[in-house]
Each structure stands twice: as structure tokens, then as C-alpha cells.
Amino acid sequence: MNKYILRILQSIISLSVIAWLFSYVGTSNIYENLLKISLPALLLFIITYPLSWFFAAVNAWFILSPLDIKIKFWELFRIRSVSWCLGQLLPGRVGEFSLVYFLKKQNIPTGVCAVLFVLDNLLTLFTLLLISIVGFFSFFSVLQSLQMVAISLIILLFIMVFIFTKFGRGLITKYLLHKYAIFFKGFSTTLFLFFRKHYMFILLNLLVSFLKWTILAYLYYLLIILFGGEVGFYPVFLITSMSVLVSLVPISLSGLGIRESLAIYLYGLLGVDTAVIMAIQVIYLIFSYLFAAMAVFMHKK
């Protein structure tokens, strides 16, 4: 399928789902809850993004550190924040691939940059999947949960075949990289080196990822309380990870609409006012694009 047609279809799906959610929850109800925003809530919204970038930079540092790559942490923080912002602004999160470009400008070999991008995203996916599996069994029937686990594991296995097998990497080289494959020389060697000698850094990356989703979920939990909702932290922790996981499925623009739908459905099962959740999601959406635009503008300056 032509990539432009795909983007148009994703845009239609995202806008249609968002429009339906506003209709389902009620625009007036959402507006009333938007007016409930307070200074503490505003601060929680603001710190969410720099905090997320900080953890992303720490995880990147854990991957680059054993390779004796010399780069200042705050430079790594800047690069991670800008690549995330480009991922928000460009369709399908393709902007996050800019991480490789910015690291290459720091004289880091492209193969190493690619390992950082692939390994960090794979470990993030693995962490989200582990948490989400618990969430599946907490919110759905055993049969439904087993089906979702099976689908998730098949997708994960499919990704790992392309990354860890010579056959899979050959297909990527032949159909995606073409003549640019030479710039990714050393990718497989560096990748397997981690699993043979630097597995402790992989474990640290997983630990930091788990800590990241725990803290971000706690911030979301506090926001629900500040907006007048009643819910425990544990289900918020599960729903946060499940919402991020489902947003990775490329059927809409960066998960827009799908992520919000799942959150509203699951919180609805817990008796939380859907207007509260939708209001929080709307504010998060506004701040994400605002931060993205500001970060990209500051980077250009």
C-alpha cells in the first residue's frame, strides 16, 4: 500500500475515533472537567515530559556506556527529547528515527546508533508487554487474555526474527536499506555483544523502564484524584502500560484515538467518570504537541 494512502487512512481512523469519543462522553462534560484544572495538576502535566525524556536518556546511557562511547549525559537528554518530539509531530512516529541521525552527528558509528534505537525500543516493548499481560488477566476473561497474550508474543517473535536472525536482517538489508546497508556495518556484532558480555546493562535498562512506567503511572493517578476521580494506583499502573502498548499498533496516527479509547473503556469498568479521563487525555494531547513544537523550535535555534 502506498505510504501516503496509509497515512490518510490512519488520519481518518484517528480523527473518527476522537470525534466518536467526544460524542460518546459528551463535549459539555469534557469541557466542565477541563475547567477543573488546577496549578498542581498543571505542574504534573508539565513535569511528565521532561521526566520521560530523562529516563529515556538514562536508558540510552546504559546502552552506550559499555561501548566506551563518549557523550555528555545532558547532550543525550537533548537528543532523546528532540527525537521524541519529532516522533510526535511526524506520522507513525517515524520522527523517532532521528535519534540515529542526531547521534551520528556526535561521531557515533551508525551501527552503534542503530543498536541503541533497536535495543532500547525492544526492551521498552518487552517491559510494557510484561506489565500488560498482568493487565489482560485483570480486566478481561481468561480466554480473551490468552488470545491477547498469544497475539502479543507472536508479534514480539516476529520482530525478534527480523532483528536476531541472519535471514531477517538480510530481508531488511535487501528491501529497506539497499545501498545504505554499508552505513550500518557492525550492527549485528554490537547487538550480540550486549547479550554475551553486557547483559547487566540490559537488566538495568529493564529496571529503569519499569521505574519509568511506575512513576508516570503515579503522576496519572494523582491527576485523576485532582480532577475528582476515585481509583487505586495499581489499576492505573496497568492501564497506563496497556494504553502505551496499544498505541504502538500502527492503525492510527501514533496511536491517537486507540490509546484514548482503551483508557476510557478500562477506567469505565472501574467506575471512573469517563469525562475525567477524556479531559486528562485531551490536556496530555495538547501538552505533547506543545512540548514537541517548542523543543523542535529551540533545537533549530
Report the distance separating Cα 64 and Cα 116, nearest Å: 7
Residue 188, pLDDT > 80, answer no
| C-beta of residue 238 within 8 angstroms of C-beta of residue 132 | yes
Tell me the C-alpha distance between 252 and 118, whole Å.
22
C-alpha cell at 79: 537528543
Task: Give the span between the Cα atoms of 198 and 201, in whole angstroms.
Answer: 6
Mean pLDDT of 156-174: 80
pLDDT at residue 93, rounded to an integer: 58
CA distance 145 to 292: 35
Q: Where does the pLDDT of residue 183 fall: very low under 50, low under 70, confident under 90, or very high at 90 and above? A: low
Assess contact for 13 and 40: CB atoms under 8 A.
Answer: no
Identify the pLDDT of residue 237.
Answer: 96
Task: Spell out the residues 6+ positions from residue 70 whose beta carbon is closer than 8 angstroms to its own.
Answer: none
- On the CB side of 254, how many CA atoms lie within 13 Å of its CA? 15
- Provide the CA 74 distance to its chain's centre, in angstroms: 21
- 224, 204 Cβ separation under 8 angstroms: no
**Which of 36-50, 68-82, 159-173 has the least mean pLDDT?**
159-173
Eight-class DSSP state of 90: S
Q: 24-28, 74-78, 95-99, 272-276: which range is least confident on average?
A: 95-99
Asked if 236 contacts 221 with a C-beta cutoff of 8 angstroms, the reply is: yes
Report whether pLDDT(140) > 60. Answer: yes
Q: Lowest mean pLDDT: which of 68-72, 79-83, 140-144, 295-299? A: 295-299
How much is the pLDDT for 289? 83
CB neighbour list of residue 31: distance below 8 Å, 6 or more residues apart? none
Question: Against a cut of 0.85, is the pTM above it?
Answer: yes
Residue 57 to residue 43: CA distance in whole angstroms: 22
Cα–Cα distance for residue pair 187/288, rounded to 1 Å: 32
Q: How confident is the model over 244-250, as a mean pLDDT? A: 85
Helix (H) or strand (E) holding 200: helix 199-226
Other residues' Cβ atoms within 10 Å of the Cβ of residue 201: 19
Give the end-to-end CA distance of the chain in Å, rounded to a whole number: 37
Residue 165 phi/psi, 5-degree rounding, is: -110, 150
Q: Which residue has the cell 490536556?
A: 283
Closest to 116 (Cα-Cα) out of 131, 128, 104: 104
CA distance 62 to 148: 31
pLDDT (0 to 100) of residue 282: 93
- The per-residue pLDDT of the chain, averaged, comes to 85
Asked if pLDDT for residue 259 goes beyond 70, the answer is: yes
Helix extents (H) in 65-198 = 73-89, 98-104, 110-139, 142-164, 166-172, 187-197
Residue 174 pLDDT > 80, yes or no? no
Query: Higher confidence at residue 14 or residue 99?
Result: 14
Question: For residue 89, what pLDDT is reported?
Answer: 65
How much is the pLDDT for 1? 52
How confident is the model over 33-70, as pLDDT tens digits? 999 888 999 999 989 988 998 999 999 898 888 877 88
> Residue 275 has what pLDDT?
94
If 0-12 CB within 10 Å is exposed, 13-18 middle and 19+ buried, where does residue 83 land? buried
